[in-house]
């Protein structure tokens, strides 16, 4: 069983008429995702490759019953776009946009958690893929295959690496989730771990973290208290110098906290299989499944 998206997903793309939105929106449709609408203010009433375009999310939801939004909106306007989707009753917003100011991310997080039941994935994330069912985001579905291993990661490219390593060994995935690496993510490791733990068709979990923040330590506490399924983990950034931001806005070590070693120790102490090399993910999962 997939989590968050499946055959019932009805996708709306905010920014479908832009180059990136169009490219990835129609790749998602080609995979089998039900792309029902696009939203671009000022272009309502037009049509793009058979997909109706609306001026607002509310109009699109009313006309198409869209339940999932993918956001390809420039950073200065992305926060308002996400909140518009939440206010219109969208169940899941997948924010691909990179470079949203942290104070805007905090404003969005507070708005969503206090005023709606919408789940936000991202910002600055690759989206999610439920192999054989639906794809919402920029993940390459060609490297995935349906199966029973859940994958969750802060890093987009390492998500792809993990999925590829599994597929090469014939190990399929139930869902592959990229939560993004920004300081204020809408969905955390703990949120996704809870969904995988509750999913009767996920047998094992791959969790990929990175330096900065304490999300992985929080995940370790949650695993100890709530997760009975085997967890295989890799933490990126072992050699990163302290005090220097490394790619993701959230990947910064300060005051001796947020180091890769601290995260690895926390996860190892609660029984997770912790790896030094991402190319070992497939064989490690193979071993725990045995």
Active site residue 103: no
In terms of residues, how long is the chain? 290
Burial 52-64 (b: 16+ CB within 10 A, else e): bbbeebbbbbeeb
CB 120, CB 177: distance < 8 Å:
no
Give the number of C-alpha atoms closer than 13 A to the C-alpha of residue 258, restricted to the C-beta side: 20
Q: Which listed residue (24, 103, 164, 248) is catalytic?
A: 248
Cis peptide before 123 (omega within 30 of 0): yes
**What residues are annotated to the active site?**
248
């Amino acid at each position: 069983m997939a989590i968050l998206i499946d055959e019932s997903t009805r996708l709306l793309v905010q920014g479908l008429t832009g180059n990136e939105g169009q490219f990835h929106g129609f790749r998602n449709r080609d995979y089998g995702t039900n792309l029902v609408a696009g939203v671009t203010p000022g272009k309502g009433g037009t049509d793009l490759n058979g997909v109706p375009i609306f001026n607002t999310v509310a109009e699109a939801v009313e006309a198409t019953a869209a339940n999932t939004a993918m956001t390809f909106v420039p950073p200065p306007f992305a926060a308002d776009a996400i909140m518009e989707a939440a206010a219109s009753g969208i169940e899941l917003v997948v924010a691909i946009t990179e470079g949203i100011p942290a104070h805007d991310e905090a404003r969005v997080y507070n708005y969503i958690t206090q005023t709606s039941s919408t789940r936000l994935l991202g910002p600055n994330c690759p989206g999610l893929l439920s192999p054989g069912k639906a794809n919402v985001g920029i993940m390459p579905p060609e490297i995935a295959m349906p199966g029973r291993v859940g994958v969750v990661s802060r890093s987009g490219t390492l998500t792809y690496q993990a999925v590829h390593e599994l597929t090469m060994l014939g190990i399929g995935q139930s869902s592959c989730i990229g939560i993004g690496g920004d300081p204020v993510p809408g969905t955390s490791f703990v949120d996704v771990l809870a969904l995988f733990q509750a999913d009767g068709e996920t047998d094992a979990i791959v969790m990929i973290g990175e330096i900065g923040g304490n999300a992985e330590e929080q995940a370790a506490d949650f695993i100890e208290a709530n997760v009975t399924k085997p967890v295989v983990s890799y933490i990126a950034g072992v050699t990163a110098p302290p005090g220097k931001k490394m790619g993701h806005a959230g990947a910064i070590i300060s005051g001796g906290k947020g180091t890769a070693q601290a995260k690895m120790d926390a996860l190892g102490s609660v029984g997770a299989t912790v790896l030094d090399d991402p190319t070992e993910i497939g064989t490690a999962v193979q071993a725990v499944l045995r």
